[in-house]
Amino acid sequence: MKSTYITVIGSLPVNFDLDQARHLGPVIASANTNKSNYFDYATVNSEINMQDMLNSPSFKNSTILAPEMLYKKYIFFSNTCCLPEFPGLTSFDIDPNKCTPQTLSLLLAVYLRQTIIFLVGYDISNPTELTRLKSIALANPDCKFMYITNPPRTYQLDDLPNGYCDNFIKFQELIDNAKQK
């Protein structure tokens, strides 16, 4: 059964039990920033991160997705896969080999067609990352993008019709409700 929710763990360290997010649906890690947790998927586009992830016990059961050039070097590892072709990348000016892993994770979440994408530890302080997030959100109006943060809340996504901001307390409440079902 397809889940309604997916959680993208960005490039910032997170002080939250990320294993709990798996009660809502799949969790995608952005490279190896939060490697003390277990993830369903992880995206990577650098060889150093790929090697670290393949040697890390927390990524042993994760599907590690990489751009084609990097994937071809690690094709013989059972948990590596090639990232799918994302439609419209040229219009976003995104190169999967050079963008950040959190952008790759966001693209993968959209590709998997979940209804609500939770962004946890997602770095929007970088103007390029914020612009990419907004562009991807505008191109996918049927998907809701929920930025999870500690107070104070950010207003940087308020101009998006499908962009929302909430805190970890509300996120935990949603997880607790999912556990009861």
Question: Could you tell me the residue range of the domain that residue 112 belongs to?
Answer: 5-180
pTM: 0.92
Count structural domains, the chain: 1
173's CB contacts (< 8 A; 6+ apart) are none
159 with 145: CB under 8 angstroms?
A: no
| Amino acid 1: pLDDT | 39
Q: What is the pLDDT along the chain (181 residues), one digit of tens a residue?
A: 357 899 999 999 888 888 899 989 999 999 988 877 889 999 999 999 999 999 999 899 999 999 999 999 999 999 999 999 887 776 777 889 999 999 999 999 999 988 899 999 999 999 999 999 999 999 999 999 999 998 778 889 999 999 999 999 999 999 998 888 7
User: Within its chain, how far is the Cα of 169 from the centroid?
Assistant: 20
**Bond before 152 cis per omega within 30 degrees:** yes
